[in-house]
Amino acid sequence: MSILSLQAVRKEYRNVVAVDDVSFEVPEGSLFGLLGPNGAGKTSLIRIITTITMADSGQVLFNGELLNRKHIELIGYLPEERGLYRKMKVGEHLLYLAQLKGLSFADAKSRIKTLMERFEIVDWWNKKIEELSKGMQQKIQFIATIVHGPKLIILDEPFSGLDPINTNLMKDVIFELNNNGTSVIFSTHRMEQVEEICEHIILINNGKNVLEGTVSDIKDKYKEGIFRIEFEGALPEDLNNHFAVVSDTDHEVLIKAEAGMSPNDLLRVLLDRGFLIHGFQEVRPSLNEVFIRTVNSLGHE
Amino acid sequence: MNKLWLIFKREYSVRVRKRTFIIATILMPIAIAALAIGSGYITAMGADAEKKILVKDDSGIFKASDVDHRNLIFTFSESEINSLKESYGEEDYDLLVYIPPFNDLSLTTHDVEYFSHEKPGIVQLERIERVIAAAFKEYKIQSSNIDRDLYDSFGMSIEMESKTTEDGAEGSGSGKTAAIIGTILGFVMGILMYMVILIYGQMVMRSVMEEKISRIAEVMISSVRPFQLMMGKILGVGAVGLTQLGIWMILIPVVLTVVPLFVPGLDSGSMTDMSSAGASAEAIQQAAEGGFDLGLIIDEFMRLNWLMIIPVFILFFLGGYFIYSSVFAAIGSAVDEDLGEAQQFMLPVILPVILAFMIMMSTIENPNSGLAVFGSIFPLFSPIIMPARLPFDPPMWEIALSLFLLIATTLLFIWLSGRIYRVGILMYGKKITFRELGRWMFTKI
């Protein structure tokens, strides 16, 4: 079951196609990465999903229903550009945003109290927003994003500007929510975070969907038959004849196998060559490499 | 609907709790009171301070009359005028007045001389002249053997009463006093509208700009419709304006009546005289002489068709506020942080307001001129001009037509502004032109 399903969604601004026939599914309860270079159309897509704008054509289904304003109470959105009313107090600000998401005053208040405890900021209720640092404001905005218990949260660069401790705190909360069934769409340029957090990704470039799938499938797809071998002894002289040696140090060599060669085939060839193999591992590309390669191969038009 | 209410509540409560709002709301009546007391006090000091006047009366007329007058103390002397000239200063007199002999009853002017070390005020001199003239008049009446009542009946006063010629219309019998009241009331209402549009309209604009700059807009728009956000703000700021006006309407009269009780030597009468717009020296004199009948003023004031004026004024108030503040909201959403850019768009908005204000000034002088009628019907002007015309009983159909156009225009402007707003509030880093704004009205988002 998909929490969100986009079907041939298209969005055009005056002379720019911001979203060009994009289709993808966000499985319910998944951690989903929405990736793409700057200006690829991520924000346009997010604005469509959050009902801020409407698609020119195509369909967006939320939980199987056509997306409509009713669903905004089931979605939480943390925009990349954060903003809060500077003159308001933390408590009343959170109450305001929570009530706008449809919570009753009492419900909103008790949920906010719980979340403030979770984020270790219980005594901030009467602080003014403008007295808080950027990172502190981000915590507040994150609370506002999740306070109404949305089924889907969309986080645009959620960790930018946070110190490592607070990054971890927020990550933990995200995982907790996810374990309880919340789906998360995660938009970022930080590939190591995507690799750490996301199960599924989609890569958007120039408004088009250029790559989609689970992280491990994509890595498999982009692997180039490169293996890392840790060894002891002398490398066989004729290794170069059989494989392309990518790099070569005292105890480690990276070799590129012929196309279609499985790890087992490779091992079989290597086993009786008179050197001791300590370690053997297929090298899969990092998402960072996949990202750069894909985007570069398409060109930045 | 519920969300609109939440937004309204926030916009209202945030502003009403602001220190600047509280200070302005309290300070304004205090400032007015201070001004009134100050000017009242100064006049009182100038006009009401006791003056000791030494009189050498060779006509014998003034001397014989009953010359008791509030704070002009006359003392008569028979000494030689030249020696008096030397001594009056040392004897602590402010003024020396010499009245030459008077023999010819048919004379209408009589020259009286005065001497003083300090130049006396014109108001003071005129008061002395009047006191002396009154004595001469009394003398003339008595020596001509004219019957007192007969004489008094010569002083005719004519009241112009307006009667409409329209069929079935009962003449309201409003006289000149009514016209004066109408003028003042019209002026006050017109100026109020002008201030409300400019001050609160721009408050809406600044607030929209802040929302856009601080990027809260995107968070808000993911929860509420842009239109709700815009209307919540316009309504909230409007309510703040009404609150402030309401407080002033109560506080200012209270301050003006209560404060004088604690200030010695001041009666509230002289203060309100002073604080009223055109408090010329002449008006004060007239009031002092009882030339203005307070009862008549109150009478005429109550005779105004308040049941019509108040609701119609409120409708025009709301219409004017909504038209202009929604345009200001649209401007605020379209521009970035650059206030200069905002100014470029504000000029064409403020222009009709200023134009309307100028037409309003001529309207109160001539409430039925073609210009006044046009101005009170044209919807961009009518919120300022129609209230100014209201005390002069404009024809019902004109009010109805004007209201109809105003409401239609208000809805149109709110709708168009909403169209611009929803695009502008999410648009960054783009120089906006008027053409661009026009396009926004009709694009999809």
Residues 39-78 of A with CB under 8 A from B: 47, 50-54, 56, 69, 72, 75, 77
Alpha carbon of B401 to those of B127, B186, B395: distances in Å?
52, 20, 10
Q: What is the ipTM of this complex?
A: 0.82
Mark yes or no for CB contact B215/A85 under 8 Å: no
pLDDT at B88: 83
- Tell me the pLDDT of chain B averaged across its residues: 80
For residue A83, list chain B residues with Cβ-Cβ distance below 8 A: 211, 214-219
Domains of chain B in start order, with CATH, are: 49-146 (3.40.190.10), 174-255+268-442 (no CATH)
d(C-alpha A111, C-alpha A114), whole Å = 5
pLDDT at B173: 44
Question: Per-residue pLDDT tens for B297-309?
Answer: 667 777 777 778 8
Determine the 3-state secondary structure of A280 from DSSP.
Answer: strand
pLDDT score of B289 more than 50: no
For range A161-173, the mean pLDDT: 91
A261: pLDDT confidence band, cut at 50, 70 and 90?
A: confident
pLDDT score of A300 more than 60: no
d(C-alpha B423, C-alpha B437), whole Å = 9
Question: Per-residue pLDDT tens for B59-80?
Answer: 888 877 776 676 788 888 888 8
Whether residue A288 contacts residue A191, with contact meaning beta carbons closer than 8 Å, is answered with yes
Question: Per-residue pLDDT tens for A105-152?
Answer: 999 999 999 999 998 888 899 999 999 988 889 999 999 999 999 999
Best of A100, A134, A152 to substitute, by most chain B Cβ atoms within 10 angstroms, is A100
pLDDT at A224: 79
For residue B227, list chain A residues with Cβ-Cβ distance below 8 A: none
Nearest Cα neighbor of B352 from B319, B308, B385, B326 is: B385
Question: What are φ and ψ of residue A56, in 5° steps?
Answer: -70, -40
For residue A15, list chain B residues with Cβ-Cβ distance below 8 A: none
Q: What angle do CA B255, B259, B262 make, to 5 degrees?
A: 165
Question: Per-residue pLDDT tens for B143-179?
Answer: 888 888 888 888 777 766 666 555 444 444 445 666 7
Of residues B6, B218, B225, nearest to A81 (C-beta): B218
In the structure encoding, which two tokens stand for residue A155, read together? 């986080």
Alpha carbon of A286 to those of A220, A227, B179: distances in Å?
11, 14, 87
For range A212-217, the mean pLDDT: 86
d(C-alpha B28, C-alpha B248), whole Å = 8
Question: Per-residue pLDDT tens for B369-421?
Answer: 889 899 999 999 998 888 888 888 888 899 999 999 999 999 999 999 999 99
pLDDT score of A96 more than 90: yes
Strand ranges of the sheet holding A252-256, from the earlier edge strand across to the other edge: A244-248, A252-256, A226-232, A276-283
B311: pLDDT confidence band, cut at 50, 70 and 90?
A: confident
pLDDT at B275: 42
pLDDT at B9: 93
Mark yes or no for CB contact A82/B215 under 8 Å: yes
Nearest Cα neighbor of A81 from A141, A152, A39 is: A141
A293: pLDDT confidence band, cut at 50, 70 and 90?
A: confident
Phi-psi region of A15 (alpha: psi -120 to 50; beta: other; left: phi over 0): alpha
- Tell me the pLDDT of chain A averaged across its residues: 87
B260: pLDDT confidence band, cut at 50, 70 and 90?
A: low
For the ranges A155-169, B181-195, B285-299, B403-417, the lowest mean pLDDT is seen at B285-299
Best of A70, A85, A95, A132 to substitute, by most chain B Cβ atoms within 10 angstroms, is A85
For the ranges A81-95, A193-207, B16-30, B302-316, the lowest mean pLDDT is seen at B302-316
pLDDT at B406: 94
Strand ranges of the sheet holding B72-76, from the earlier edge strand across to the other edge: B72-76, B51-57, B95-99, B113-115
Answer whether B117 touches A (CB < 8 Å).
no
Answer whether B216 touches A (CB < 8 Å).
yes
Question: Per-residue pLDDT tens for B200-257?
Answer: 888 999 999 989 888 888 889 888 999 999 999 999 999 998 898 888 878 877 877 7
For residue A69, list chain B residues with Cβ-Cβ distance below 8 A: 225
